[in-house]
Structure 1
Amino acid sequence: MSTTPKDTAIDARPKRQQTAKNIRAMKGSTPIVCLTAYITPMAARLDKHCDLLLVGDSVGMVLYGMDSTLGVDVDTMIRHGRAVCRGAKQALVVIDMPFGSYEETKEQAFRNAARMLSETGAGAVKLEGGIEMAETVRFLAHRGIPVLGHVGLMPQSVHAHGGYGARGRSVDEWQPIIEDAKAIAEAGAFAVVLEGVAEPLARKVTEEVDVPIIGIGASNACDGQILVTEDMLGLFAINPKFVKRYMELGAAIEEAIGAYAGEVRCRAFPAEEHTYKMRGANS
């Protein structure tokens, strides 16, 4: 079928840029699709499929081989935030505030958040914490900085909470997590990431909090889902319980590299079609 100029114009229209306000309005409707991104080409690949791209402080573990996220600093987040914003055209880009960049005072949080947004072009920041961070979230939100909250299992606090184990697996653990999520939402967060909690608790938080709850290891009861992209693509040997691997990219990469190495060693690559010839040569 031929394409008319009118059809072409419609197809060529760019998708509308997602905003924190748009994401907030998705509560209880179509599930919100989120993934992490750290580099331009991956962001460009993810962009058309995702509502939100998170430049996570998980970059420290995924790209730099760190044991935790605690060694990541603001400059690193800005560098990767810029890269992701170059590749993302429609998804909302959110940047993690790294450990130590917002906990001291709400004024410290504002200075760092304002710098991260102004130097990258991202649309929001994410910070961890519940009731104790509500005043900081309110301070940022009232000054025009959209905030994505993060409660439940909080990677920046793993030392204080005894590791990465799931939270809320007994009912007596529920109330503090529920209160944390409510406090962050009431302070002005446009959405809240809920990590590593039992399914009944995730369902209750999603029902009782009036902003979108984005789950990671928190069941499909949430308003949306986020995963570390490299986890779901199978780039690492360790696979958390809550991750579904949609492909084994790590194995495919190893196979491709093995094929390349074999061809180099037997001089099959580069072949004639990969080789430049002299100008004017007959063949």
Structure 2
Amino acid sequence: MRRTVQEFRKAKGARLVYVTAYDYPTARLAEEAGVDAILVGDSLGMVVLGYESTVPVTLEEVLHHTKAARRGAPNTFLVADLPYLSYATLDRALQAAERLLKEGGADAVKLEGGKEVAEVVRGLTRAGVPVMGHVGLTPQTASALGGYRVQGKDLDSARRILEDALALEEAGVYGLVLELVPTPLARLVTERVSVHTVGIGAGPFTDAQVLVFHDLVGLFEGFKPRFVKRYLEAAPLFRQALARYAEEVRSGAFPDEAHSFGMEEEVLKRLYGA
């Protein structure tokens, strides 16, 4: 049974499990594993599409992957990212959210930023769009934050993250991602806001955790953030399988009789006779 937005609104202290998924097979695996929510993040740009950042990701690409994930996980709550600049204005945000919810089958959308996006969040929620916020490290604007590094370590930046979280709560988000912030700050934010928090590199005291699928199973080898725990090293296994396949094809070992199909001898004789 798919969880509702109302259930997530009340999920303080629930220790929910989020994971990213960008296609049918990984979303299906996530649902079968019993995760609480799937995020079709614009991280797909880096781990699936090979971009250097999330900035080039388009709405069409997020929509395409959201549709695939929904087909793989029809019974799991699904959140889709609004890509870079798709929510620069409320009108653009409404158009993007409409497509992700109506065409993509998403249950909610997520956007990055704090007080500067609060009015957009307010407009979306007034229109009935469930919105998840995202503060701390915001990958779409990481270059302006000094790169992919922990945010909120000094008083001013920590205060700003707390104020951003409270502004988003007031604007109507149903949940809040805290990315790459110190554990004590994530704990304070979680205590101060009434909506559930989802940590990624934010320590153990948030109400939920999220990891990128390709990180936790070891499929993405571009870099490994400190906060990622690998539960599997899949990339070497995939390479070994591909290498064995190539070797057997070149040696003639594959396909063999067990992986081929025959036909009746009489039919074959008549075919050759013809």
Shorter-chain TM-score range: over 0.9
Work out the CA distance in 2 between the residues paired with 1:205 and 1:262: 54
State the alpha-carbon separation in 2 of the partners of residues 19 and 109 from structure 1: 22
The structural deviation recorded for 1:155 is 0.3
Report the equivalent of 1:176: 160
Q: TM-score, normalised by structure 2?
A: 0.93
Tell me which of 181, 184, 196 is aligned to 1:200. Answer: 184
| Matched residues, number | 265
Q: 1:278 to 1:241 in 2, by over 3 A?
A: same
Q: Deviations over 1:16-45 (max 9, x none)?
A: 1122222112112x2110011110111011
Q: Any gaps of 5 or more consecutive residues in structure 2?
A: 268-274
Query: Partner of 1:225 in structure 2?
Result: 209
The whole-number CA distance in structure 2 between the counterparts of 1:65 and 1:281 is 53
Give the residue type in structure 2 aligned to 1:263.
E
**What code does the residue aligned with 1:246 have?**
Y
Query: Structure 1 segments of 4 or more deviating over 6 A?
Result: none
Q: How far does residue 281 in structure 1 lie from its aligned partner after superposition?
A: 6.8
- Give, in whole Å, the separation in 1 of the partners of 2:38 and 2:158: 28
Match of 2:255 in 1: 270
Aligned-residue identity in percent: 46
Aligned to 2:272: none
Q: State how far apart, in whole Å, the 2-side matches of 1:252 and 1:281 are.
A: 44
Aligned runs of 1:79-98 on 2, under 5 Å?
79-98=64-83
Cα distance per residue 1:252-283 (max 9 Å; x no partner): 1011112112211221111111011013679x
Q: Does 1:22 align with 2:11?
A: no
Could you tell me which of 219, 238, 243 is aligned with 1:235? 219
Unaligned runs of 5+ in 1: 1-15
Look up the match of 1:43.
27
Partners of 1:279 and 1:146 lie apart in 2 by 61
SS in 1 for 2:177: strand
Aligned-pair CA distance for 1:90: 2.1
Aligned residues: CA RMSD: 1.4
Distance of 2:55 and 2:266 partners within structure 1: 59
In 2, distance between residues paired with 1:24 and 1:88?
Answer: 21
Give the AA of the match of 2:160: P
Is it true that 1:33 corresponds to 2:14 in the alignment?
no
